[in-house]
Amino acid sequence: MPQEKQLTTGQNFLFGGLSGCLATVIIQPTDFLKTRMQLLGEGQGKGSSNFVQVATSIAKNEGISTFYKGLSAALFRQVTYTTTRLGVFNTLMDFLSNKNNKSQPNFATKLGCGMIAGGIGAIVGTPADLSLIRMTSGRYNYSNIFDALYKISKNEGILNLWRGCSPTVIRAIVLNAAQLGVYAQAKQSLLSSQLIANDGLLLHISASLIAGYVCTVVSIPVDLAKTRLQSMQKSSNSIQYTGSIDVITKTIKHEGLFSLWKGFWPYFFRLGPQTIFTFLFLEQFKNHFGH
């Protein structure tokens, strides 16, 4: 198998973030829908699980442009979170590949690199993630990402920008181990098994779909806990949570076990295409600027 082109450390961070931003512009409506569905029926029952009905209702009552509410926060999240996670992951992978004399790191090492990259990226990106959740929840009146960051800092304290940081980090560790580790392993396995002959578009899409599905299954319960913690209004009569375990426990009690996977399809339709587009853009940058 031919040696992949590599980017410099600076390029890994730059093109990682840029790839995430380009993918976000495409998939923002499904991310918005996923967040709204995870907040439906909170503490009151299962609520609607039909994403078509929910999407139709939002379009009818709030307008089509509502699906792009929070785009500034979503892009800022990519600038912080995705720039960091992809930059760290690809830098680690390049370093380990060089160290091993062109041999690919094993699957466990890829998962470990994904976990490290995800954890670091989540810490950096939590303020933007918190702002995004609030802007798409419909419970707050922020005009843009900077307005959200300012008002949260002013009214709740600057440390509250990292509310939900723990589940965000846990989610990122789980998601990135699956997404980045599985994507890298799927590419290698598909090529070595000769199921796909060339390192091209078909390989990148196939590996992205595999990684996206695995990510959705393993990470959505943690994502739901993060979403509900970050959208919680302490001054309101809405249900209150003390942490991720409390969210999961109360969700199972009031809404049933499978409600932990509420918003599964919009989450997958967001994560699958985002994974595909992110890696497609990144692979193109690697092909054009790598060495």
User: How high is the mean pLDDT of the chain?
Assistant: 85
Indicate the pTM of the whole model. Answer: 0.73
Kindly tell me if the per-residue pLDDT of 80 is higher than 90: yes
Give the residue numbers spanning the domain of 258.
9-285
For residue 83, is it within any domain? yes
Cα–Cα distance between 71 and 28 in angstroms, integer? 7
For residue 247, is it within any domain? yes
Kindly tell me if the per-residue pLDDT of 278 is higher than 50: yes
Residue 154's pLDDT band (boundaries 50, 70, 90)?
very high
In sequence order, what DSSP letters do the residues of 34-75 get, joined into one string? HHHHHHTTTTT------HHHHHHHHHHHH-GGGGGTTHHHHH
pLDDT at 147 (0 to 100):
93
Mean pLDDT to the nearest integer, 76-98:
91
18-22, 121-125, 264-268: range with lowest mean pLDDT: 264-268
Kindly tell me if the per-residue pLDDT of 55 is higher than 80: yes
For residue 4, is it within any domain? no
CATH number at residue 44: 1.50.40.10
How many C-beta neighbours within 10 Å does residue 289 have?
13
Kindly tell me if the per-residue pLDDT of 234 is higher than 70: no
pLDDT at 222 (0 to 100):
84
Mean pLDDT to the nearest integer, 228-235:
75
pLDDT at 1 (0 to 100):
47
**pLDDT top residue among 121 and 39:** 121
CA 181 to chain centre: 14
For residue 3, is it within any domain? no
For residue 2, is it within any domain? no
For residue 271, is it within any domain? yes
Kindly tell me if the per-residue pLDDT of 66 is higher than 80: yes
For the chain, the domain total comes to: 1
Percent of the chain predicted with pLDDT > 90: 34
Angle made by CA atoms 57, 63, 68, in degrees to the nearest 5:
105
pLDDT at 4 (0 to 100):
66
For residue 290, is it within any domain? no
SS3 106: coil
For residue 248, is it within any domain? yes
